[in-house]
Amino acid sequence: MKKIILFLIIPVVCFAQSNKSDEILNLVKENFNKIKDYQVNVHIKVDVNFIKVPEGDATIYFKQPDKIKLKSEGFAMLPKEGINFSPLNFLTGDYTSIFDKEENVDDNPCYLIKVIPLGDKSDLILTNLWVDKKQYIIRKIESTTKSNGTFIIELNYDKDIKYPLPSSMVFSFNVQKMEIPVGVMGDADEINKTEEEPRRKSKATSGKVYVNYSDYKINIGLPDNIFEKEEK
């Protein structure tokens, strides 16, 4: 008898969990879909031990559903997964979601939702989304990918926001330290290298990218040609 009861209860509980998470995610999507396009200035600081890059400024252009462009007068770089924090990125294709628990992120009460893509097309394996309980905005994303390891995106927002767009972001990631082809440059590390200093081997390393957003221009009707690839 107990087995029968359990057999009946477990799917009901799971369905309820899934149903709740879908409701939350639908509200997040709905909230984000208020944005048709936007343009924002960003200040980027990259902190990765094997890449030294000067802090830079750039402009990000976004248009629904997935057009994105990074433009800069100087040099600017952003992690591929960090350039566009749209929740739709993590909620495309077939997926299943589970409501895990409620948890605070920087004193903001949030729902923790686990999103698992179905099939093997997606590069994502598992994504945890911390969704703000009051505003249905994403406060934190932790995602594990097949190709680029695990990354965490922490998003901060201004107090009174009309659109779910952050004022700053911290993108943390773990990557395998790259084997860098020195090619025609030769290897400057060979200079003054002593016998005791063996070549540094490839190993996992972590990094952070800090992005500050300013001067949002939202729903201004960005033309499609902004997103076209520029001829070099």
Partner 1 sequence: MITLINIELYKIFKKWRTYIGFLVIAVIVPVINFAMLAEGEKSLDFMTRNLQQSFVFVGNLLNGYLVSYFILISLAVHIPFLITLVAGDLLAGEATAGTYRILITRPVSRMNIISSKFIAGFIYTAFLVLWLAIMSLGIGMIIFGVGELIVVKSSGIIIFARNDVFWRFLGAYGFAILSMTVVTALAFLFSSLVENAIGPIISTMAIIIVFLIVSALQINFFRKIEPYLFTTYMSSWRLFFDDPVDYAALYKSIAILAGHIALFFGATVLIFKRKDILT
Shortest separation between residue 6's beta carbon and partner 1, angstroms: 46
Closer CB to partner 1, 79 or 166, in the complex: 79
What residue ranges bind partner 1 (CB under 8 A)? 49-54, 56, 58, 70-72, 74-80, 83, 147-148, 173, 175, 178-189, 191-192, 194-195, 199-200, 232
Shortest separation between residue 152's beta carbon and partner 1, angstroms: 15
Closer CB to partner 1, 125 or 182, in the complex: 182
Burial 68-92 (b: 16+ CB within 10 A, else e): ebeeeeeebebbebbbebbbebbbe
Closer CB to partner 1, 5 or 191, in the complex: 191
Closer CB to partner 1, 36 or 193, in the complex: 193
CB 120 within 8 A of CB 42: no
Residue type, 44: I
Closer CB to partner 1, 15 or 50, in the complex: 50
Burial 100-131 (b: 16+ CB within 10 A, else e): eeeeebeebebbbbbbebeeeebebeebbbbb
Coil vs helix vs strand at 208: strand
How many other CB atoms sit within 10 Å of the CB of residue 189? 11
Shortest separation between residue 55's beta carbon and partner 1, angstroms: 8
Shortest separation between residue 180's beta carbon and partner 1, angstroms: 6
Shortest separation between residue 82's beta carbon and partner 1, angstroms: 9
